[in-house]
Amino acid sequence: MGLIKNLIVFGTRPEAIKMAPLINTFKKRKDEFDTKICVTAQHRQMLDQVLDFFGIEPDYDLNLMKPNQNLFSLTADILTELKVVLEDFRPDFVYVHGDTSTSMVASLASFYFGAKICHIEAGLRTFNKKSPFPEEINRQITGRLADYHFAPTHLAKQNLLKENVDDSKILITGNTVIDALLESVKRVKEIENNEITYLKSILQSECKLILVTGHRRENHGRGFIEICEALKCIAENNEDVQIIYPVHLNPNVKGPVYEILSGIDNIYLIDPLSYPSFVWLMNESYLIITDSGGVQEEAPSLGKPVLVLRDTTERPEAVSVGTVKLVGTDREKIVSESQFLLLNEDKYREMSELHNPYGDGKACARIVEYVSLKTNEDEIKK
């Protein structure tokens, strides 16, 4: 039997973070796997930062990001360009992650080509096709096309079983983002980049740090205005609180954020951070307010309570356990829940010490062993 040919496809910073440890795990087994990486560069600058940090060099770079990019053109471009890559490398397995347009279209292209599709972080659902948009439908379509489903939790597996996915095609792995995070926390202790130096210069040790991130499409418009008004209220009512907000580059985010929050002494609006700097800042924070899916998974491993700026989440496990709380974009709810955690030390401690349901840092090893086993089983059947 020759080498198993793997093609790992991703396009955004969150995907890169979650795929990086899987890439490195496969690369350690070069006697068994020929692994190549294709990036669509659905995001460019933020993607490159992660590639540099993890030392990953793509074999194929489609470089598809364009000004004023829309879902129609992006979908068409990924499908067309991936045809060339698939025909050149001719992979046995194609690995996609989560719920991006890159994942959905790469799955479709791989289905057309005839490669087996492996879905990392499979089975997450809100069952509301408009929330998150378009990610919920991207994830469901990918799930319908996938041959193997690597579910991070028992609940994710149950979602897949309800959709009639064959039990033998599902493996509960934990989430690869925990693999990435645990490795990154060790590494950032040994680095000192310009961003971390700057963050150290503005952090006030006597203040409780609230880290904020926000970018989701469904919050654009009135949602972001409500979020910003809430942050303004929190800052003005708590002199011992410092808010740091790395602001997403999307004009729909930057507009209301800078209009409402500029000039407030204890709010710092900064450029988006590289992944290692963001991990460092998460570790320094007291509370995190975010609409990010990845942060919902990462922060509990660092003992940080999370308020989620969404009405629904495809990651309900942390909500059930209690490490995460949904607050939506309602100004009063964001303020009240933040104040509660700032003032109630017992509740804060309880929330920060709860178990993280998303993994133990061994997800990638489980995935690689599973693929190796399945390939050997198929070879025996021949």
Structural domain includes residue 189: no
The pLDDT, as a whole number, for residue 65 is 85
Grouping H, G, I as helix, E, B as strand and the rest as coil, residue 149 is strand
What's the rounded Cα separation, in Å, for the pair 285 and 300? 12
Residue 251 has pLDDT above 90, yes or no: no
Q: Could you tell me the strand order of the sheet in which 170-172 lies?
A: 60-61, 33-39, 4-10, 93-97, 116-120, 148-151, 170-172
If DSSP states are collapsed to H, E and C, what string results for 73-113? HHHHHHHHHHHHHHHHHCCCEEEEECCCHHHHHHHHHHHHH
Residue 182 domain flag = no
Are 336 and 368 members of one domain? no
- Looking at the structure, tell me whether residues 143 and 15 fall in a common domain: yes
Do 166 and 38 reside in the same domain of the chain?
yes
pLDDT digits (tens, 9 = 90+) for 200-248: 999 999 999 999 998 877 778 888 899 999 999 999 999 999 999 999 8
pLDDT of residue 277: 95
Would you say the C-alpha torsion 85, 88, 89, 93 has a positive or negative sign?
A: positive
pLDDT, one tens digit per residue, over 317-369 is: 999 999 999 999 999 999 999 999 999 999 999 999 888 889 999 999 999 99
Averaged pLDDT for residues 142-163 = 98
CATH number of the domain to which 302 belongs: 3.40.50.2000
Number of domains in the chain: 2
pLDDT by residue (tens digit) across 70-112?
999 999 999 999 999 999 999 999 999 999 999 999 999 999 9
Residues 348 and 367 in one domain: no
Characterize the bridge pairing of strands 267-270 and 241-246.
parallel
For residues 73 and 140, membership in a common domain is answered with yes
Please state at what angle helix 222-237 crosses helix 331-343, rounded to 10 degrees. Answer: 30
Give helix 345-352 / helix 331-343 axis angle, nearest 10°: 100
The CA distance from 215 to 205, in Å, is 28
Tell me whether residue 278 is in a domain: yes
- pTM, two decimals, is 0.86
Alpha carbon distance 90, 151 (integer Å):
26
Active site (catalytic) residues: 99, 121, 135, 215, 217, 248
Same domain, 133 and 230: no
pLDDT at 1: 62
Question: Are 165 and 297 within one domain?
Answer: no
What domain range is 309 assigned to?
A: 194-352
For residues 36 and 139, state if they share a domain: yes
